[in-house]
Amino acid sequence: MRHRDDYTDRAWRKSRLAARILLRKEAGQMNGRDRRIAAQLSHDQEVTNRLIQQGLYYLGIGTRKHEFDQRLGLVER
């Protein structure tokens, strides 16, 4: 059972979900559901770039971060 004092809050869970969707996009496995959720999360004030970045590191992106950003077109090559 979850408690209010758990280490995850709502914004962190949403940002981890956004990070998972970015990983699916990079892998070419994004579906319609992912697109709908991504559109909702992109307008959510709680989901910040910094939290999404932390979510990516939490999910194990680690040293691949720059390569990952290049594949998604977020930085120049």
CA distance 46 to 25: 21
Cβ proximity of 47 and 14 under 8 Å: yes
The parent domain of residue 48 ranges over: 10-72
Q: Looking at residue 40, what is its pLDDT?
A: 96
User: Is this prediction's pTM over 0.75?
Assistant: yes
**pLDDT number for residue 2:** 59
Give the residue ranges of DSSP H helices in 1-77: 10-27, 32-42, 49-58, 65-72
Domain count, the chain: 1
* Residue 77 located in a structural domain: no
Residue 41: inside a domain = yes
The pLDDT of residue 70: 84
Q: What is the pLDDT of residue 4?
A: 61
- Residues 6 or more apart in contact with residue 23 via CB below 8 angstroms: 56, 59, 61
Residue 20 counted as domain residue: yes
pLDDT in tens, the chain (77 residues): 556 655 678 899 999 999 999 999 989 999 999 999 999 999 999 999 899 988 888 888 888 888 888 888 777 76
CA distance 37 to 63: 27
